[in-house]
Structure 1
Amino acid sequence: MVMTLPILYSLQNCPYAMRARLAILLARQRVMLRPIVMKNKPAKMLAVSPKGTVPVLVLEAETEAGHGAENYDLKLNNQSIIDESLDIMLWALKRNDPQDLLRSQHPDALPEMLKIIEENDKQFKPSLEQYKHAKRFHEDTEEQYRLACEPFIQRLEQRLAQHEFFMGATPSLLDYALLPFVRQFSKVNRQLYLNGPYTHLQHWLNNQLQSRLYAQAMFKYPLWLDTHQEFVLGE
């Protein structure tokens, strides 16, 4: 049976789509990228994922062929799509993890990372959105929402004061899952961020943003609905 590549619907600057693209590249997987914008969502994407958010990964029928199925703990149950960014990251890295981003030899590491990612997604991200909104519209709640973001950012700074990456001397899933959100935080009030007590976080973020990986993940392709061209992302 000829296997077609999975299809990834993605939005250029969406942090969730960014983390999915990063993981696919890190796992050396290949997908057909379909760049979209939220104001013009493709009917084909909505047909497979009615919630209408990105990223959406439409899979090949690989589990039926048994390819790596025994390694998945994502509870996919032969579903044909994955439409949560963290699940896409795990899908890719369960297939291939050359940098051991999941810390396979340390059983406590993945649960710890998933807990921090959940805190990012459920607590930090809502505060970050309020901070961004208040800054954009010059509201007097800007400082309130910035302070709501601070405890999470400070804990990341404390981790980086101990070692080069969030989980130790080498990168992990946690670094790439949080990267798009730390990037957003750094841009809201740029001067305040640069003057703030984030020496280690600034160094970490600068290194990430200047990397070849980030440049690959952020390469801007034409919109799929404009050209109906797909692009291979990954190796």
Structure 2
Amino acid sequence: MTPQTPILWSFRRCPYAMRVRLTVLYTGVTVDLRDILLKEKPVEMTTVSPKATVPVLNDNGTIVEESRDVMMWALSKNDPEGWLDMPAEGHAMIDTNDGPFKKALDHTKYAVRFPERDASADRAAAADVLMGLNDRLTHQTNLFGDMVKMADTAILPFVRQFANTDRDWFNAQDWPHLIRWLTAFETSDSFATIMVKRPIWVPGAEPTYFP
């Protein structure tokens, strides 16, 4: 049986899905990109992934449900500029991003849902992580030198999400190197490409091949 093009379920504004689309774009591995609405998740996705969160990759019956694992799936197929050529510290930084930083980000962004918490303390906790990134970027373009690595791509969509909780406050902070790094990301051709609005997937739709 001829293998089918892998299916990637995605949501345009989700930072987890963003970093996967960025990786797929970089590697050039073709997928059938299916954009969905989170409030109307198709049964075709939830059947293969009861977790029902994006992104989800269906590679001919092999289901990959975590965004970092989907990134690794694509990079294992093609990594022309050596995104995986980074020290173990890079993976530890992604752990921090996906754990403590994302938790502080959510508590900041959705503070109204957590009335028992101190929103200013949560924002300060997130800012501590970002200040560490700023310090790393003082004398280099990206987290591990001039070249983009997996860590940059995995973390930047979440920095953007945090910045957008209060862009004026974010831009007023003393982290010029972080702002420069984020601005370069937001004005890149790659970011523009992955953020193109595509039709919401419906059953029977023709494949939307990406990249």
State if a TM-score over 0.5 links the two structures: yes
Partner amino acid for 1:9?
Answer: W
Q: Distance in 2 between matches of 1:191 and 1:226?
A: 42
Deviation string, structure 1 residues 59-108 (Cα, Å, up to 9, x no partner)? 03xxxxxxxxxxxxxxxxxx6111100001111111100111111xx6xx
Quote the residue 1:141 is aligned against.
118
Q: Distance in 2 between matches of 1:227 and 1:194?
A: 45
The 10-residue stretch of structure 1 (135-144 or 205-214) with the greater mean CA deviation from structure 2: 135-144
Name the CA shift for 1:114/1:2 in 2 (closer, same or farther; >3 Å).
same
The answer for unaligned runs of 5 or more in structure 2 is none
Name the CA shift for 1:130/1:232 in 2 (closer, same or farther; >3 Å).
same
Q: Distance in 1 between matches of 2:66 and 2:199?
A: 23
Aligned residues: 211
The answer for unaligned runs of 5 or more in structure 1 is 61-78
**CA RMSD in angstroms, aligned pairs only:** 2.0
Measured after TM superposition, the shift of residue 114 of structure 1 is 1.3
The 10-residue stretch of structure 1 (84-93 or 142-151) with the greater mean CA deviation from structure 2: 142-151
Q: Distance in 2 between matches of 1:43 and 1:184?
A: 28
Taking only the aligned residue pairs, the percentage that are identical comes to: 38
Quote the residue 2:45 is aligned against.
45
Q: Distance in 1 between matches of 2:16 and 2:161?
A: 12
Name the CA shift for 1:33/1:26 in 2 (closer, same or farther; >3 Å).
same
Equivalent of 1:176 in 119, 140, 153? 153
Q: Distance in 2 between matches of 1:147 and 1:16?
A: 23
Quote the residue 2:78 is aligned against.
96
Partner amino acid for 1:112?
Answer: E
- State whether structure 2 residue 188 is matched by structure 1 residue 211: yes
Q: Distance in 2 between matches of 1:115 and 1:34?
A: 30
TM norm structure 2: 0.93
Secondary structure of the residue that 2:38 maps to in structure 1? coil
The 10-residue stretch of structure 1 (219-228 or 187-196) with the greater mean CA deviation from structure 2: 219-228
Deviation string, structure 1 residues 34-67 (Cα, Å, up to 9, x no partner)? 100111111111111111001000003xxxxxxx
TM norm structure 1: 0.84
Secondary structure of the residue that 1:220 maps to in structure 2? coil
